[in-house]
Amino acid sequence: MRPILMKGHERPLTFLKYNREGDLLVSCAKDHNPTVWFADNGERLGTYRGHNGAVWCCDVSRDSMLLITASADQSVKLWNVQTGAQLYTFSFNSPARSVDFSVGDKLAVITTDPFMGVTSAINVKSIADDPSQQSGESVLTITGPTGRINRAVWGPLNKTIISAGEDSVIRIWDSETGKLLKESTPEVGHKKQITSLTKSADGSHFLTGSLDKSAKLWDTRTLTLIKTYATERPVNAVAMSPLLDHVVLGGGQDASSVTTTDHRAGKFEAKFYNKVLQEEIGGVKGHFGPINALAFNPDGKRLALHIDDHLSGNAGTIRWPIFVGMMWCANVEMGSTSFSSGGEDGYVRLHHFDPDYFSIKI
């Protein structure tokens, strides 16, 4: 099956985000311009122009009216999703790394990097109903975690904030006082930098990926370790299916970082695991380059993944080793199952699953 190639970026992709309904996909890249697409057929709807640096992260409000983006140009911007109008700019003294709307979209948590003597920080901003009344003042600022905070998301009922980053420690903060409530220990936590963090659809647990070649499943309230998924390569991206007990891990290292003694780390494929049994059940092969990010469609039928494949430039092949005789359809129909892959060349590739994927038995 030939994928639908979605060309909208001139630089490597950094992040993908679906809206709540799953009909829109927003892609972020190092070319400064977030882009929005139809998630079913890959039609490009528009580009949000205004950033002057790499865009690392984004989020879409629950009503699909607001887009928030974090950039290396030391700013976070609010946009009108439909018109592309820039509504407000939050300015910082260091690059902005991640953003996440609270449930209800009344607040946004923003992380900023350590830079020129400025420490990393977690900032909570109030989001006004009327953009003309928007304020840049922080409701809460938490400083001090060592190294870059790669991801921060809201906990249950917006009562807590969960953060993770370079120091390999997961922390849970009180979102009103900024008090540190819990943090992972070296005995059960990651051994190297945490690169990614994603919550389950119901918010009861979350998944982290690390350069220590593992991903871990955690309880959102207690920070109890639930499962560990081991792989042969550094994990740069993680995702969880909202319908099935499946987790997806993506990773690999740049060719310049791969040694002859550890050639397995240079393999670039997305690995699918059974969430409960921790067993690998399939994979996406054929690309040359590290996977940057993963995102399932909220309806569970579409999966988007970012892959650095600057070495080859070809689209590669998609294979599910455990499925024999699977038939792929070249024509895309509304409601069909799908996933996407994106590359160092700036492409997002949209693929569609066979319905048999959703009846897989382990």
pLDDT at 269: 78
Q: Please report the domains of the chain, with CATH numbers, ordered by start residue.
A: 14-300 (2.130.10.10)
pLDDT digits (tens, 9 = 90+) for 294-309: 888 887 555 665 555 4
3-state secondary structure of 39: coil
Q: Express each pLDDT in 102-140 by its tens digit.
A: 999 999 999 999 998 899 999 999 999 999 999 999 999
Considering only residues 12 and 338, tell me which one the structure prediction assigns the higher pLDDT: 12
**Which amino acid, 289?**
G
| End-to-end Cα spacing for the chain | 25
Residue-wise pLDDT tens digits, 347-356? 777 777 777 7
**pLDDT band for position 324 (cuts 50, 70, 90):** very low
Q: 348, 6 in Cβ contact below 8 A?
A: yes
pLDDT at residue 255 above 70?
A: no
Q: Please give the Cα distance from 260 to 357 (Å, whole number).
A: 36
Question: How far apart are the C-alpha atoms of 37 and 47, rounded to whole Å?
Answer: 9
Helix, strand or coil, per DSSP, at residue 277: coil
- CB-CB contact of 172 with 181 (8 Å): yes
Taking the CA of residue 191 as centre, how many other CA atoms within 13 Å lie in the half-sphere pointing to its CB?
A: 7
pTM: 0.86
Helix (H) / strand (E) element for 145: namely: none
pLDDT digits (tens, 9 = 90+) for 199-243: 999 999 999 999 999 999 999 999 999 999 999 999 988 989 888
